[in-house]
Amino acid sequence: MSEANEKDVLERIEHTINKIRPYIQADGGDVELVDYKDGIVTVQMLGACAGCMAIDATLTDGIEALLIDEVPEVKKVQMAEAPPFPYFY
């Protein structure tokens, strides 16, 4: 993918995420675009979403469904791996 095309795809992904963001924020959470590579979008779920039991449904039925519908280059959406929890001894 050319750099210009990749930039266009990233802009469309960010635009689409911004459409769903108010609904996620209304529940005390947020979503952030982390990466896009080879048709896979990686997002970080923040706030109340980070520990929510409905996170899988939000990710697949909400974010992924909308992104695949609006950005044909997107094939899958996954969550970024959480950083390791700092243990204090």
Whether 48 is covered by a domain: the verdict is yes
- Indicate whether 52 belongs to any domain: yes
Residue 84 covered by a domain: no
Residue 88 domain flag: no
Please state the pTM of the whole predicted model: 0.84
Count, residues in the chain: 89
What local confidence, expressed as pLDDT, does residue 89 receive? 56
Query: Which residue range(s) make up the domain with 59?
Result: 3-79
Asked, for residue 86, whether it belongs to a domain, the answer is no
In order along its 89 residues, the chain shows pLDDT tens digits of 677 788 999 999 999 999 999 999 998 999 999 999 999 999 999 988 877 888 888 889 899 999 999 999 999 999 998 666 665 65
CATH number at residue 46: 3.30.300.130
Instruction: Say if 14 falls within a structural domain.
Output: yes
Structural domains of the chain, count: 1
Helix (H, G, I), strand (E, B) or coil at 29: strand
Q: Is the residue at 10 inside a domain?
A: yes
Rg over alpha carbons for the chain, rounded to the nearest Å, is 14
